[in-house]
Amino acid sequence: MNWSKFAIFAGGVLFGTAGVKILSSKDAKKVYTHCTAAVLRAKDAVVDQATVLQENCSDIYDAAKQINEDRACKEADEIIAEADEESEN
């Protein structure tokens, strides 16, 4: 039997067991809790920014529709004015 392979296996088991204990310690749980809280704060910030962006896009869309309506009215008035001028002549 190759002792170096057995030593590597035993070291891996020991390291894995120690890793599980470290990851389930109270200090690790505090770190997980703080990281989760930071992620939740970031999520809230992203949602707020998305809401602001959506509102701005809605305002831009409404303003663009109003510009097109005003332009169409102006063109219609110009056509009517031209027709009146031609009928007077």
pLDDT digits (tens, 9 = 90+) for 3-24: 788 788 888 887 787 777 777 8
Backbone angles phi, psi at 25, to 5 degrees: -75, 165
28 in Cβ contact with 22 (< 8 Å): yes
What is the reported pLDDT for 65?
A: 97
Residue ranges per structural domain of the chain: 26-88
pLDDT digits (tens, 9 = 90+) for 29-65: 899 999 999 999 999 999 999 999 999 999 999 999 9
d(CA 12, CA 19): 10
What is the reported pLDDT for 89?
A: 64
- Using the CB atoms, write b or e for 31-67: b if 16+ within 10 Å: eeeeeeeeeeeeeeeeeeeeeeeeeeeeeeeeeeeee
Full-model pTM: 0.50
| pLDDT confidence bin for 1, thresholds 50/70/90 | low
Q: Alpha-carbon torsion 17, 20, 23, 29, what sign?
A: negative
